């Protein structure tokens, strides 16, 4: 028996999403959604039904939904398109690497954060110039879970620049009303809340037109070239619809689970919670481990049947120090991110806390033994 506690990386697919995908794959009457024959128009109906459901779940208009391969592509699409309005970008140092690396292709104004990883809306807005094409402000941080003051950022910008919000970690955990939010561009990834991997969306504010990143076809109303993956889109819509319908229940349950981790951390020597302890996403907790390297902790937990994450969000192969934690002034190379999801149970958290206590005790005892031998 294993306990998977890395939902912020990717969440296991929900049965409703799997069923929706299989249903589409088993059909023999579906063709290219861009073709004007029966099979094409039947596939188009599936895609547009899914678009309607995604839009309804996110408080958007169907025409504001552009299907992509995920949040990474959605971020690239927003960044590429907005560059036509100005090569200058404004962003905080705690944005996801997909945002940072696109911004680094042009001129950047970096904005710092406080010890919780929260950006100051006034400072963000003050960095906007006449050459600013895009301001980035993630909704909730992918490593420490701290929520950003998006509504205040919208108010401070007051339309002086386009605003892109990375909502990959928020969808399915916090309610979103895109059309009423004042946000211009919002990126979403299906696999973060139990949908299939390889599908997501960029929400584009009504009447906003940007040059497409992917050309070669007029799909998605000429905003993204390439045939739409009909089965994945259907699975995305099914997962999002379920996550939205059960959002209150799931978020409350996930907060109770992560609160247990925070309570354990507050009583454990050498362990501290990072990020805002209250104004945070319900499913993410990040722990700083003062005196033990993360690699042996990860290996010890994995051997005990527990999967968690450490280090920079998209660099686990190298376990690189986290730029998010560095920007917060925290120890950047000794952290554990625990993230729960739609199928996490109390038993999973029991297993984590028991295994983590044991692993830390064993590693500290080993270190003392080595230090004693050296002296």
Query: Which residues belong to the active site?
Result: 314
CA of 9: how far to CAs of 66, 168, 192, 341, in Å?
Answer: 23, 10, 7, 11
Q: Please choose, from the candidates 292, 294, 368, 303, the residue with its C-alpha nearest in 3D space to the C-alpha of residue 338.
A: 294
- Token pair 């889109």 is found at 233
DSSP 177: -
Q: Please choose, from the candidates 285, 261, 239, 246, the residue with its C-alpha nearest in 3D space to the C-alpha of residue 141.
A: 285
Q: Cβ–Cβ contacts within 10 Å for residue 284, how many?
A: 24
Burial 140-166 (b: 16+ CB within 10 A, else e): bbbbbbbbbbbebbbebbeeebbbbbb
302 neighbors 6 (Cβ within 8 angstroms): no
CA of 42: how far to CAs of 19, 32, 106, in Å?
Answer: 19, 9, 43
With residue 65 as reference, give the H or E element that holds it: strand 65-68
CA of 333: how far to CAs of 100, 311, 327, 371, in Å?
Answer: 19, 6, 12, 22
What sign for the dihedral angle of Cα 316, 320, 322, 323?
negative
């Amino acid at each position: 028996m294993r306990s998977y506690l890395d939902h912020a990386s990717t969440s296991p697919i929900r049965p409703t999403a799997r069923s929706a995908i299989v249903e589409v794959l088993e059909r023999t009457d579906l063709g290219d959604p861009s073709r004007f024959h029966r099979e094409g128009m039947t596939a188009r109906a599936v895609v547009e039904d899914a678009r309607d459901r995604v839009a309804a779940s996110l408080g958007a208009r169907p025409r504001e939904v552009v299907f992509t391969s995920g949040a990474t592509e959605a971020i690239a699409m927003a960044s590429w398109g907005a560059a036509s309005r100005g090569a200058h970008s404004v962003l905080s140092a705690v944005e996801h690497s997909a945002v940072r690396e696109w911004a680094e292709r042009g001129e950047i104004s970096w904005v710092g954060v406080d010890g919780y990883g929260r950006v100051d809306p006034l400072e963000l807005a003050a960095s906007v110039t006449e050459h600013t094409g895009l301001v980035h402000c993630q909704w909730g941080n992918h490593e420490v879970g701290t929520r950003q003051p998006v509504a205040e950022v919208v108010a401070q910008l007051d339309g002086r620049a386009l605003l892109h919000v990375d909502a990959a970690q928020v969808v399915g955990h916090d309610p979103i009303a895109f059309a009423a939010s004042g946000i211009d561009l919002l990126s979403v990834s299906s696999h973060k809340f139990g949908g299939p991997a390889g599908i997501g969306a960029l929400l584009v504010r009504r009447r906003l037109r940007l040059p497409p990143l992917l050309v070669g076809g007029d799909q998605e109303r000429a905003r993204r070239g390439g045939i739409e993956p009909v089965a994945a889109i259907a699975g995305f819509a099914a997962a999002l619809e379920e996550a939205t319908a059960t959002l209150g229940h799931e978020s409350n349950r996930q907060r109770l689970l992560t609160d247990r981790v925070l309570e354990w951390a507050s009583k454990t020597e050498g362990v501290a919670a990072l990020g805002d302890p209250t104004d945070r996403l319900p499913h993410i907790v990040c722990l700083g481990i003062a005196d033990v390297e993360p690699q042996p902790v990860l290996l010890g937990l994995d051997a005990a049947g527990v999967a968690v994450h450490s280090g920079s969000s998209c660099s686990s192969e190298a376990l690189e120090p986290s730029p998010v934690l560095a920007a917060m002034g925290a120890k950047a190379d000794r952290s554990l991110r625990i993230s729960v999801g739609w199928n996490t149970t109390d038993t999973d958290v029991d297993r984590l806390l028991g295994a983590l206590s044991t692993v830390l005790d064993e590693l500290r005892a080993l270190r003392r033994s080595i230090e004693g031998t050296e002296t």
